[in-house]
Amino acid sequence: MKKQLSQNWIISKSWLRFLIIIILVMGVFFRFVNIDKKIYWGDEVYSSIRISGYLASETREQLSNGRLLTIKDLQKYQYPNSEKNAIDTIKGIILEDSQILPLYILLARFWVELFGNSVAVTRSFSAFISLLTFPCIYWLCRELFESSLVGWMAMALVAVSPIHVLYAQEARAYSLAIVTVLMSSAALLRAMRLKTKVSWCIYAATLVLGFYSHLFVLLVAVGQGIYVVAIERFRFSKTSIYYLLSSFAGFITFVPWLWIIITNPQPEAVTWANVKQTLFASAIRWAGIFSRAFLDLGISPSDPGKLKIALIPFILIILTLIIYSIYVICRRSTKEVWLFVLTLIGSVGVPLLIMDFVFQKRYATTRYTLPSVLGIQLAVAYLFTTKLTSIYPKIWRKKLWSFVASIVIISGIISCTISSQAQMWWNKLPERNHEYPKIANIISQADKPLLISDADIIPIQILAHLLEQKVQFQIVTPNHLPEITNGFTDIFLFDTSDFLKAGIEKIYNSKLQQINDILWKITKST
Per-residue pLDDT of the chain (526 residues; tens, 9 = 90+): 444 444 444 446 677 788 999 999 999 999 999 999 999 999 999 999 999 999 999 999 999 999 999 999 999 999 999 999 999 999 999 999 888 999 999 999 999 999 999 999 999 999 999 999 999 999 999 999 998 999 999 999 999 999 999 999 999 999 999 999 999 999 999 999 999 999 999 999 999 999 999 999 999 999 999 999 999 998 888 999 999 999 999 999 999 999 999 988 876 666 666 677 777 777 888 888 899 999 999 887 777 777 778 888 999 999 999 999 999 999 999 999 999 999 999 999 999 888 888 777 777 788 999 999 999 999 999 999 999 887 765 777 888 898 999 999 999 999 999 999 999 999 998 888 999 999 999 999 999 999 999 999 999 999 999 999 999 999 999 988 998 888 899 999 999 999 999 999 888 888 999 999 899 999 876 5
Contacts of 244 (CB under 8 A, 6+ apart): none
How is residue 276 annotated by DSSP? -
- Alpha-carbon span 428 to 447, nearest angstrom: 30
Amino acid at 293: A
* Per-residue model confidence (pLDDT) at position 296: 94
* Per-residue model confidence (pLDDT) at position 299: 85
* Per-residue model confidence (pLDDT) at position 502: 92
Residue 157 Cα distances to 132, 136, 183, 236, 391, angstroms: 14, 14, 18, 38, 23
- Alpha-carbon span 216 to 222, nearest angstrom: 10
* Per-residue model confidence (pLDDT) at position 8: 47
- Say if CB 503 and CB 476 are below 8 A apart: no
* Per-residue model confidence (pLDDT) at position 364: 75
Interstrand relation of 519-524 and 472-476 (parallel, antiparallel or unpaired): unpaired
Cα 211 from chain centroid?
17
Characterise 388 by phi-psi region: left (phi > 0), alpha (psi -120 to 50), beta (else). alpha
Interstrand relation of 490-494 and 449-453 (parallel, antiparallel or unpaired): parallel
* Per-residue model confidence (pLDDT) at position 391: 72
Contacts of 498 (CB under 8 A, 6+ apart): none
* Per-residue model confidence (pLDDT) at position 268: 67
Q: Which residues of 409-448 are buried (b: 16+ CB within 10 A; e: fewer)?
A: bebbbebbeebbeeebbbbbbbeebebbeebbebbeebee
* Strands lying side by side in the sheet with 510-516: 65-70, 472-476, 449-453, 490-494, 519-524, 510-516
* Per-residue model confidence (pLDDT) at position 244: 95
Nearest one of 427, 257, 404, 413 to 324, comparing CA atoms = 404
Residue 463 Cα distances to 39, 54, 495, 519, angstroms: 9, 19, 11, 12
* Per-residue model confidence (pLDDT) at position 229: 95
* Per-residue model confidence (pLDDT) at position 254: 96
Contacts of 489 (CB under 8 A, 6+ apart): 446, 447, 448, 449
In three-state secondary structure terms, 451 is strand
Alpha-carbon dihedral angle through residues 116, 118, 120, 123, given to the nearest 10 degrees? 90
